[in-house]
Chain A
Amino acid sequence: MKKLKITSLLLVATMLGATACSSSDGNKETEATTTIAAVIETQPTEEEVDLPYEYGLGKTFHANEPVKYTMYFSDASWYPMVDTWESEGVFKKIEEATGVDLEIIAYDSGDYMNNVTLDINAGDAAYIIPKIYDESAFVDGGAIVPISQYVQYMPNYVEFYNTYEMQKDLLTITRSDGNYYRLPGMWEAPMPDYSLAFRKDIFDAAGIDITALEKDWTWDDLCDILVQVKAYMVSEGMCSESDYIWSDLWCGNESGQGNGGNLLKIMGNSYDVNAGWAIGDGMRYSQENDNFYFSPTTDNYKEFLKVANRFVAEGILDPETFTQDDATATSKFFNGQTVIMSINKGQYASYVTNLDENLGAGNYELYYAVAPQGSVNYSAAGAGRLECGVMISQNALDDLGEDGFIEMLRFVDWLWYSPEAYTLIKWGVEGETFQYNADGSKSLLPGFCCGGLGYGATSDDDVDIRLQWGYAGGNFWYGHTLAEGSDAFIPPVADFVSRVGEYRDTAPLAPGLAPSEDQNEEINLIATPLIDNVNTWTLSFVTGKADIDAQWDEYVASCNGLNAEGLADIYAEVYGK
């Protein structure tokens, strides 16, 4: 067989060494701290004068000589890429602005990661690889550029990184070699999303004002409230004593992943424990002790289980929640059988549509509330500020040479990290598709709509700017400041986001850990059966099949039997504490 480019690790190392920061003395530890510094200083290229392109903070990147870069594109079949994107839409506008001809390699979104993985593994990757959630499978072989060594050439990235102090966040994706391999989407602050939706009209009728309570209510308060509401509903004949008024989605077999899903995640987060979707391997960081510990056997976890169980025991929360499929939960809520249900930002509009259809507009009031507190006042958004991001293929460095490579990075920098490109990619062109309002906000011009921005079509002639031109698609649009991120929010959602910011604190970010290949393997070997056990017990406790007080010790013993302590030891070893 014809041999492909067999990239010599040595060669890569040499090339990287030449461009790494000046203070690098070959020691990996130092390298890690220099490339992921608290403040990065932008670094010009050696011959900054005669660059064949323009770039800079607040400037549009523009290549004076035509350049062509290959880029993957995750193509969603519900807004498939069509020729007009290239001929007059988003790709055309990018080319007009920057002089860069992007050769798009589109893969269907359902197969995107599979196709990209194959290409990278076969040494045939495109230069720019967006929409990457987990880069760990690619970093060892030298197919992906350790991008942390180059970010100093990217002014917009550096600006955002320094302004919002992203160092700690970036350390969470730093590998054991001291580099990170993905340019992540970066948020100014964690963006609140999942929370609870209430039928405010019924709560009001029962004499409860959620809006006043949500600021500092606890889960126990919420349970008391729901008991009161149920009593009211029974007295009004709206339901019977045996009915549950809460049947939740994202918790069942289908979407709950067998760990209690979204609801237990939100509850657990407010008790400072890993639970539900966020169970992971159970390990959590304690700021107080500056170490990692196994959270599912802590007192906090017991407390969390007790309160979760109380909702079931009081006849409020349907225990079927943890096995049913989502459609069961939503249909009950939309029919008015239940009065509270989980929600996220993307679903708000669809909840309204469905309630309108079933109950009739004006016959109900929906409220997107801030989730209650537990033992701590953390926002349910968690601590992470990173999103999926862009990897850069080693092929780009090999083919373009160092100077051309840095030019490309500066284009990438503009496209993903500049406010200008963000607006273009999301809203299109001012005056063509959208306008700035007097208050500085943006809105689509009449005659346009966009499913992705929450603008429904008002007439059949409306042009969807996403379907027609590819704006507001998921490939470019992530991260940025809260103001930018929320520039398309409808008022109830924007209001929810700001209330969360006001009422809740952000959880402390766990420091980044970089276990070695072997340590990782060990962690996985212990964690898989251990977490299966935790999930089984947790759901039994919550649904009342097991007694929390009587069987707690038995549960803790079973976790220790599965080497929960060994897991903590490995973490201590990795963290160095």
Chain B
Amino acid sequence: MSSNRRGLAMGPTQNKQTFGKHMGKYWQLYAMLIIPIIYYVVFRYIPMFGNIIAFRKYRAGGNIFGDEFVGFKYFKQFIGDKTFWRAFANTLTLNISYLIVRFPLTLIFALLINEIRNVHWKKFVQTVSYLPHFISIVIMCGMIKELVSTSGPINNLIAQFGGEKISFISEAKWFSTIFITSGVWQSLGWGTILYLAAMSNINPSLYEAAAVDGAGHFKRVWHITIPSILPTITTLLILDIGGLVGSGGAFEKVYLLYNPMTYETADIISTYVFRMGIGGGNFSYATAVGLFEGIINLTLLSIANIASKKLTDSSLW
């Protein structure tokens, strides 16, 4: 995590300053940091020690750091646990298919918005498309359940065309469709912000030169717009790939939408951890799985970040 290497080189070199002088000059900035640092220690770092219970047996009412050391028992257990691997596979499947659907759609939507000439219409479309991003997951899932319920509008439509009503929410095979569609609905507009920003930075003279050369409209999009925003595309793609095993963002949505009938396709690692932990009281087991997931995430994201840095000279940290 060498975020500031470039920055440090640019800043005034103060390596030779003594500690006292440095503090004398900057003590107020350090003072500002006191509360935030205490906050991070208390609310972010101290709970990490609780992860020790992945290696120690935790019992209700026993020691909060676990009763006895059991080594990798819980890791071995979940490695041999089919349900865990099902959750692992579901996490990957849902994330990958969501990415495959969402990523090109967002890009196309951004390109289409960029083509709108009427400023007010463009602004309106953008504003409306950002709206779902701000809606709470609870309400979104509530709306989804309304829409797909057997007496909801979608099933009414099906019935009108003579089809059999489908209980979408309780059929495992429909879960990924619901998950992906609602995800696209929620993030389509929001995802275009960075693309549109990149497009607005393209020098208009490039288009003019191309027009002079006789390039048609679509050619200009293909030869100028897309190459210009390619770094943005690459970066976003890499970061998305880095988050493929992570289920943090999806937890609430899956938790609010799934049910025992759809576990088969809907249960992801974080919901499984939640059920094993809170639901089953197997906190040691749940922590072991959570730890495993955390480590994979950290690794994948680090790799993605390095790749992003190498390929596009931009990175998250």
Contact = CB atoms under 8 A, between A and B. Distances in A.
- A–B proximity contact (CB within 8 A): yes
Interface of A: 1, 3-4, 6-7, 9, 113-114, 117-118, 120-123, 137-138, 140-144, 253-254, 257, 325, 327, 394, 528-529
21 contacts: A1-B64, A6-B64, A7-B62, A9-B62, A117-B60, A117-B278, A117-B279, A118-B278, A120-B60, A123-B64, A137-B60, A138-B281, A140-B59, A140-B60, A140-B62, A143-B62, A144-B60, A253-B171, A254-B167, A254-B261, A325-B150
Interface in B157-211: 167, 170-172
Given A121-B283, A140-B62, A142-B61, 10 more contacts: A1-B49, A1-B64, A7-B62, A9-B62, A114-B278, A117-B278, A120-B60, A137-B60, A142-B60, A257-B260
A421 to B, nearest CB: 29
A248 to B, nearest CB: 16
A137 B282 contact: yes
Nearest to B164: A328
Given A113-B279, A117-B281, A253-B170, A142 B46 contact: no
A194 B110 CA distance: 57
B49 A120 contact: no
Interface string B36-61: 00000000001001000000001111
B260 A142 contact: no
B280 interface: yes
A120 B283 CA distance: 12
B49 A141 contact: no
Nearest to A9: B62
A137 B282 CA distance: 7
Contacts of B46: 1
A253 B278 contact: no
Contacts of A253: 170-172, 261
B174 to A, nearest CB: 12
Contact of A3 (B62, B64, B150): B64
A126 to B, nearest CB: 14
B276 to A, nearest CB: 10
Contacts of A327: 150, 167
Contact of B61 (A114, A120, A254, A528): A120
Nearest to A532: B82
B252 interface: no
**Nearest 8 pairs of A and B residues by beta carbon:** A143-B61, A141-B59, A137-B281, A141-B62, A141-B61, A143-B60, A141-B60, A114-B278
A121 to B, nearest CB: 5
Of the listed residues B46, B67, B279, B281, the one surrounded by the most CB atoms of chain A closer than 10 A to its CB is B281
Interface of B: 46, 49, 58-64, 67, 82, 150, 167, 170-172, 260-261, 278-283
A144 B60 CA distance: 8
B170 A325 contact: yes
A121 B60 contact: yes
Contacts of A142: 59-62
Contacts of B170: 253-254, 325
Nearest to A256: B261
Nearest to A254: B170
Contacts of B60: 117, 120-121, 137-138, 140-144
Nearest to B280: A137
Contacts of A3: 64
A434 to B, nearest CB: 37
B254 to A, nearest CB: 16
A122 B67 CA distance: 14
A3 B260 CA distance: 37
B87 to A, nearest CB: 15
Contacts of B64: 1, 3-4, 6, 122-123
A429 to B, nearest CB: 38
A9 B167 CA distance: 50
A276 B177 CA distance: 30
Contacts of A257: 260
A280 B172 CA distance: 23
Contacts of B167: 254, 325, 327
B61 A123 contact: yes
Contacts of A528: 82
A140 to B, nearest CB: 5
Nearest to A324: B167
Contacts of A121: 58, 60-61, 281, 283
Contacts of B49: 1
A141 B67 contact: yes
B295 to A, nearest CB: 23
Contacts of B282: 137
Contacts of A144: 60-61
A493 B280 CA distance: 36
Contacts of A394: 61
Contacts of A4: 64
A291 B62 CA distance: 36
A331 B281 CA distance: 39
Nearest to B262: A253
A7 B261 CA distance: 40
Nearest to B172: A253
A117 B260 CA distance: 20
Nearest to B259: A254
B121 to A, nearest CB: 43
A5 to B, nearest CB: 9
A142 B62 CA distance: 7
A394 B170 CA distance: 40
A117 B281 CA distance: 7
A394 B59 CA distance: 14
A143 B64 CA distance: 12
Nearest to A120: B60
A531 to B, nearest CB: 13
B288 to A, nearest CB: 15
A114 B271 CA distance: 13
Nearest to B64: A4
Nearest to A325: B167
A33 to B, nearest CB: 26
A394 B67 CA distance: 18
A394 B49 CA distance: 26
A352 to B, nearest CB: 21
A144 to B, nearest CB: 7
